[in-house]
Amino acid sequence: MPLVVQKYGGSSVATVENLRGVAGRVAARRRAGDDVVVVVSAMGQTTDELLELARRVSPAPPRRELDMLLSAGERIAMALLAMALHEEGVDAKSFTGSQAGILTDEAHAAARIVEVRPVRVREELGRGRVVIVAGYQGVSREKEVTTLGRGGSDTTAVALAAALGADCEIYSDVAGVFTADPRLVPAARRLDGIGYEEMQELARAGAKVLNARAVEFARDRAIAIRARSTFGGPEETVVSARPAAGGVAGVAAAPAVALFELAVRALPAARQAFARHGARELGASSAAGHAALCLSLEDVHAPEALRADLAAAGAAPIEAAGIGALSAVGRGAEEPRVAEAVQEVLLELGAPPLALFVGPLRVTACCAAARLPEAARRLHARLLE
């Protein structure tokens, strides 16, 4: 029987009505004869609400305890979806990441999947059940609950699809991957296809539609990801080894970044320090022994401690707060006109770039976060309209 892993994001299961809708779709797929594994995210804004709760208790919560807290969001969604499927007359069973055999390293709140042993998932599929797996979480060798970093349910889905030899469909509130976030840039267009590397760079640059590590996983295992809307029709974007048509595939914005300057020789120590805090490198450039380093703070939950550790490693912040990153991604990103367009757009908006990073598939400029939405619209107009 064909086997599919379907992942539904937070907005797809935000309300009880939405959950019922997803159950109806899964039930229809099951009745059509497919074996189905469903990976769910936490309902709506649950993860943000849990993080806010933690912040009210502690400005620097231990990352282990954050994982105990945050993993509860997906656990709620998985159990409710299993109940909704029973109401549809479909036999279903839910599993936590740990029960589903998602084994990770020990990096709390930004863990990497190291192995998938879906023994119980296979058993239940063999009994004719739909299996629901809590996304975004796993278990370490020490039997500690871990989470995979924000947006990590995608990675759960891809990892399970790879381990089970299944197709992978990822459902959200947008009908695939667009040339920019359509909620931000109304002129954005859906891409029929995009290559793994381009998609990884778009995700790193802040595109929310797919998680960067999930795409990395898919690339390493040659899994095609089909990104679709939960609420829409058959439109989709296929993420595979085939690159998108055209030189620039898309534009993305990341609202929460930090920028540091340091001596080039201090880079290794700085990298060790920020990795402990869950920060991700968005760009690094160096000239004459000096380096600039741009970090995404999405999975940082104790920003003051991060700054202190980076200061100890010799990295000083450039501008205190309110920095974002604007990126253009694609095989044409290295053409000088792309970096020029990024800089011109920011100058027009009175938000001159604080740093510019040019890589083979991505140009990223750090700038005032408040200008990002308008900057993304203008950059899209220049490069993609």
Which residues, 39 to 78, sit near Mg ion by CB under 5 A? 41, 47
CA distance 270 to 282: 14
CB of 2 to Mg ion, least distance (A): 28
Residue 237: strand pairing partners: 227
Q: Name which of Mg ion, ligand ASP, none residue 98 binds, using a CB cut-off of 5 to 8 Å depending on partner kind.
A: none
CB of 79 to ligand ASP, least distance (A): 15
CA distance 326 to 312: 29
Q: Name which of ligand ASP, Mg ion, none residue 217 binds, using a CB cut-off of 5 to 8 Å depending on partner kind.
A: none
Helix axes 16-31, 63-87, angle to 10 degrees: 60
CB of 170 to Mg ion, least distance (A): 13
Kindly tell me which of 41 and 230 has the beta carbon lying closer to Mg ion: 41
CB of 9 to Mg ion, least distance (A): 6
Kindly tell me which of 47 and 155 has the beta carbon lying closer to Mg ion: 47
Residue 10 binds to Mg ion (criterion: CB under 5 A): yes
Range in contact with Mg ion (rule: CB under 5 A) among 4-12, 52-60, 95-103, 361-369? 4-12
Kindly tell me which of 41 and 179 has the beta carbon lying closer to ligand ASP: 41
- Contact footprint for ligand ASP (CB under 6 A): 9-10, 41-42, 47, 73, 135-136, 150-153
Output the CA torsion sign for 152, 154, 156, 158.
negative
Kindly tell me which of 63 and 150 has the beta carbon lying closer to ligand ASP: 150
CA distance 108 to 340: 39
Range in contact with Mg ion (rule: CB under 5 A) among 3-11, 16-24, 199-207, 374-382? 3-11
Residue 147 binds to Mg ion (criterion: CB under 5 A): no
Q: Name which of ligand ASP, Mg ion, none residue 136 binds, using a CB cut-off of 5 to 8 Å depending on partner kind.
A: ligand ASP
Residue 135 binds to Mg ion (criterion: CB under 5 A): no
Q: What residue is closest to ligand ASP based on CB? A: 153
Q: Name which of Mg ion, ligand ASP, none residue 135 binds, using a CB cut-off of 5 to 8 Å depending on partner kind.
A: ligand ASP
Residues in contact with Mg ion by the rule CB under 5 A: 10, 41, 47
